[in-house]
Structure 1
Amino acid sequence: GETVGGFGSFDRWRAFLKQSAERSRLSRRAFIQAGGAGLAVSTLGAAASAPAVAAVGRQWTQIADIVVVGSGAAASVAALAAAKDGAKVLMLEKAPVYGGTSAKSGGAFWVPNNFRLKERGIEDPKASLLAYCAAYSYPHLFDSNSPTLGLGEDVYKLLEAFYDNASPMTDMLREIKAAEIGRFHVLPDGQGTDLPDYGVLDGNNKVPRGRCLGPIKPDGSPGFGAELMRQIKARIDAYGIPLLTSHQVVRLVTDGDGAVLGVEALNDGKEVSFGARKGVIFATGGFTYNRGLCCKNREA
């Protein structure tokens, strides 16, 4: 049948999502309880009582410098960045196919101050971009006179990190020539007029068009999510990064001091362990299909 960017048939993908959805019904109370357990629960779907296990006497199935959990755009770009810097990388994906929800998305990055804007001489100042994001995402907190725009320092720094790193990320993809990905398209001013930027285009949004970058197909036409992931996967293969599908990460593996040494995963019901010499990167998403995070019903 048809394929999702080369990741498997649509029927196979739909069957996986349907099966996941049927398993993913928990109450809001369970979500709140699980949320207190932190990142290991919210990203891994591990039981709140056992988000990590000790590494005493553990035999690793495989060891890498960096273990990346997930295979969507964020996970794949993180894997490429680590491999570019010389790390031995291993990717683990719960689904039987590569690409995550990115493969079924519109396939565009919203990147402030990107190279296309710079080529056109359009300035996208950091201060106004941060103010726009803060006002749109946190209207009840936004304060233009506050050093952190009314946000908590951690949230403000997260927005800063986004501005500082999003454009260099796309530059990195262009540098390593990830197939056609270096030729990101932007919609011409005469197209997509029904697709304005996010939210109210207030005075803080100095660049209402041009931040959205998408992949170009080999024939020169704009691509979407499946095309984006096809192109990124080609570069992952070129770097020789192993990708293990049908591996659901269920918990962290730590040492006696709590430092992360790797992860445990389930593959066809069998528990396997993967060591990480330098770190584990989580880019899993999947909130809708996570038993520990979904509401069982609207009344719960």
Structure 2
Amino acid sequence: MEAIHEVDVLVVGSGAGALTAAFTAADAGANVLVVEKAAKFGGTSATSGGGIWIPNSADARAQGHADDPQEALDYIKALIGDDVPEVKLEAYVDNAHRMLSYMEERSELRYTAYAYADYHMDVAGARNGWRTHDPIPLMADSLGEDFWRMEPPHTLTLTFGRFTWTMEEAKLLLTMSPGAKPLLFKLMLKYMCDLPWRFKTKRSRRLTGGNALVGRLKLSLDKKGVPIWLDAPMTSLLNGKGGVTGATVERNGKRIEIHARKGVILASGGFDHDAALRTKYSPKPASADWSAGVPSNTGDGLKAGMAAGAATGLMDSAWWGPGFMLEGEDRARIMFVERALPSSIIVNQAGKRYMNEAASYHVAGGEMHRCNNAEAPTVPSWFVFDARYRSKYMLGPMMAGKPSADSRIPEPMRKILKKADTIEGLAAQMGVEPNAFAATVARFNEAAIRGEDPDFGRGQSAYDRHYGDASVTPNPTLAPIERGPFYAIAIYPCDLGTNGGLQTDEKARVLAEDGKPIAGLYAVGNVSAAAMGRTYPGAGATLGPAMTFGWIAARDIMRVND
């Protein structure tokens, strides 16, 4: 053994759940160390939209949108079923808003409730907004050198590859609803005129989403003196007579034995990019290339927990979303918004629709798996749109523009783009039966003119309409596909990360195969079996539970009582 290091609490990983846990433990007086495998901190949390799903928050109440906790609990219970014990769901609803209030009172974390509808508005207890919360923007220079050490935003969250947006701004810009063009001009002007910062980097100084979340958490840890070791992968857990006592970590070419006097919190992400684990557990077909999570998510915490005797659950589950991959990029691009916009559909390889394209990304991605069969494969499917869509909306790195400007589409996007002057010609390029595809488009068009979708009910729910184009009536998600040229790209059941993992209880304690807690070991976030089961109740239902159970875990370790 090269070295021994001692702390009270060891946190493995540096995403939102990890940093929330680290701050909470430090705030209770613990000597805390955070270790991160990657060269940058923040994980997938930093690259994400940064939203959190928190029922009955103080901010929502202050804005006049008080929530009924029992309704929230009934809502997630109806969605999740028996996949998660009720006591764990109760712990989440009871503590999520308390966690947020605690963090906003004691740390640099700042959020605002937003009018973002829950994803399943047809389920009792769903609300038309104010459970999802958006992080308040942060100026990058407040982070100093840590700005360069933090994971940058995912490419899909950047406009022109340079600046990001808040949830409200994203809704306007991506749907090109009234007010979008003035907002885009304003954001571009502010970006271009920030001349001192422009000399340093092409990235904007105004951080939003996951960068604002993780940046604020890092500032909070700095005030508590909590270090983050980068390039320091955990290789195994240390086991003593009383349970887990620490972990071994590799750093600067040395193997370090870290003794954790009070406990270890695993928050190291899922197994998104571990090909062997994806092949073993994920629905088929499966590929590690189809994940939008950071490439360092290879299941290290999961494997260490299993070696320590932990039980696992939901291993076939992930945060699904239709998406595509581009040459030269190291992770997938999820289609959060594009599917809900008018003059577009998704068809299988038989040229037929099979889903409500405007449903939540998790539902839509799940349908790609559920509906896949040999007669009409849905992996991959085709995202189809026309010249009207092309001229008004963004799709990946392809900015809105007339078909005459197609030569200026970035080369990686052009490589996956199919284009033809007729529907039948597009069918030939897609490899689908022309008559069946033409019939699908004709049926869709006939109903879309009336703002209806008799087959799948697209645009009926408040969530569907959230990312529709408000200038299109009577249904903001529907318009015919009728203006040539016509386009298509192949899409796959991608994911934001796997969410099956170590089984935990309502205190985030890792459970052994016999159902008893493994002393000294906790797990939060995607390394654990998701508190939301196989479902996605609303925007932020990944980070909200990660942070809440990180807070719960730290308080349990430190024996903090109300």
TM-score, with structure 1 as normaliser: 0.66
Q: What is the aligned partner in structure 1 of residue 233 from structure 2?
A: 248
The answer as to whether partners of 2:238 and 2:244 remain within 8 angstroms in 1 is yes
Q: Which AA in structure 2 matches 1:265?
A: V
- Report the counterpart of residue 220 of structure 2 in structure 1: 235
What corresponds to 1:261 in structure 2? 245
Over 3 Å counting, the alpha-carbon distance change for 1:160 and 1:168 in structure 2 is same
1:156 pairs with one of 83, 86, 90: 86
Aligned to 1:147: none
1:186 aligns with 2:113: yes
Matches within 5 A, 1:97-108: 97-108=40-51
The letter of the residue matching 1:246 is: D
| Residue in structure 2 matched with residue 171 of structure 1 by the alignment | 101
Contact 2:74 2:124 in 1 (8 A): no
Contact 1:248 1:266 survives alignment (8 Å): yes
Query: Residues 148-197 of structure 1, C-alpha deviation per residue, up to 9 Å, x if partnerless?
Result: xxx37x6211111111111111111111141xx33x1233x5xxxxx531
CA offsets per residue over residues 120-147 of structure 1, 9 Å max, x none? 3433223221221122233xxxxxxxxx
Unaligned runs of 5+ in 1: 1-57, 139-150, 190-194
State the 1:60 CA deviation.
5.2
Q: 1:291/1:82 Cα in 2 relative to 1: closer, same or farther (>3 Å)?
A: farther
Q: Alpha carbons of 1:286 and 1:270: their partners in 2 closer, same or farther (altered >3 Å)?
A: farther
**Hey, what's the Cα distance between the residues in 2 that align with 1:218 and 1:264?**
35
Which amino acid counterpart does residue 234 of structure 1 have in structure 2? Answer: L
**Structure 1 residue 136 corresponds to structure 2 residue 79:** yes
Match of 1:280, SS state, is: strand
Match of 1:32 in 2: none
User: Hey, what's the Cα distance between the residues in 2 that align with 1:262 and 1:166?
Assistant: 28
User: Which range moved further: 89-98 or 221-230?
Assistant: 221-230
The Cα of 1:211 is off from its aligned counterpart by 0.9
Within the candidate set 119, 128, 143, 1:208 is matched to 128
Answer yes or no: is the 8 Å Cα contact 1:98–1:245 preserved in 2: yes
1:181-237 CA distance string (max 9 Å, x none) = 33x1233x5xxxxx53122442222x3300111211257x84211121111111111
Moved more, 154-163 or 78-87: 154-163
Q: Distance in 1 between matches of 2:277 and 2:68?
A: 37
Provide closer, same or farther for how the CA distance between residues 203 and 118 of structure 1 changes in structure 2, counting only shifts above 3 A: same
Amino acid at match of 2:137: K
Q: What is the CA–CA distance in structure 2 between the aligned matches of 1:102 and 1:261, rounded to whole Å?
A: 27
In the alignment, the residues of structure 2 paired with residue 292 and residue 236 of structure 1 have an alpha-carbon distance, to the nearest angstrom, of 35
Shift of 1:273: 1.4
Please tell me whether the aligned partners of residues 60 and 275 of structure 1 are also in contact (alpha carbons under 8 angstroms): no
Instruction: Please say if residues 131 and 204 of structure 1, whose CA atoms lie closer than 8 Å, have aligned partners that are also in contact.
Output: yes
In structure 2, the CA distance between the partners of 1:160 and 1:240, relative to structure 1 (3 Å rule), is same
The secondary structure found in structure 2 opposite 1:113 is coil
1:111–1:167: 8 Å Cα contact kept in structure 2? yes
Distance 1:116 1:100, change over 3 A: same
Residues 66/224 of structure 1: CA separation in 2 closer, same or farther (3 Å cut): same
Equivalent position of 2:28 in the other structure: 85
- In structure 1, what is the equivalent of residue 61 of structure 2? 118
Q: Indicate the residue corresponding to 2:118 in structure 1.
A: 197
Q: Higher relative CO (CA 8 A, sep ≥ 6), structure 1 or 2?
A: 1
Q: 2:209 aligns with which of 214, 221, 224?
A: 224
Match in the other structure for 1:46: none
Q: Provide the rounded CA distance (Å) in 1 between the counterparts of 2:119 and 2:254.
A: 44
CA distance in 2, matches of 1:235, 1:68: 15
Contact 1:71 1:284 in 2 (8 A): yes
- Listed one character per residue, the Cα deviations across residues 77-101 of structure 1 (whole Å, up to 9, x for unaligned) are 0000001111110001111101010
Name the CA distance, whole Å, in 1 between partners of 2:236 and 2:62.
Answer: 45
Deviations 1:102-121 (A, max 9, x none): 01000111111111122134
SS at match of 2:261: strand
Aligned partner of residue 293 in structure 1, secondary structure: helix
Alignment of structure 1 residues 286-297 onto 2, 5 Å: 286-290=270-274, 293-295=277-279
Equivalent positions of 1:37-76 (< 5 A) are 61-76=4-19
Pairs aligned (count): 218
| Alpha-carbon distance in 2 for matches of 1:114, 1:122 | 9
* Preserved CA contact (<8 Å) 1:61 1:273: yes
Structure 2 distance, partners of 1:208, 1:269, is: 52
Q: Summarize the Cα distance change of 1:86–1:166 in structure 2 as closer, same or farther, 3 Å threshold.
A: same
Distance 1:76-1:240 versus aligned 2 partners, 3 A rule = same
CA contact (8 A) 2:3 2:255 kept: no
Q: Gapped runs of 5+ residues in structure 2?
A: 140-164, 167-207, 287-562
* Secondary structure, aligned partner of 2:278: coil
Q: In the alignment, is residue 279 of structure 1 matched against residue 263 of structure 2?
A: yes
Q: What is the rounded CA distance, in whole Å, between the counterparts of 2:39 and 2:103 in structure 1?
A: 26
The Cα shift of 1:299 comes to: 6.0
**TM-score normalized by structure 2?**
0.36
CA distance in 2, matches of 1:71, 1:165: 22
Specify the SS of the correspondent of 2:73: helix
CA contact (8 A) 1:201 1:208 kept: no
Deviation by residue 1:48-96 (Cα, 9 ceiling, x = unmatched): xxxxxxxxxx775311100001100000000000011111100011111
For the 8 Å contact 1:115–1:171, the answer to whether it is kept is: yes
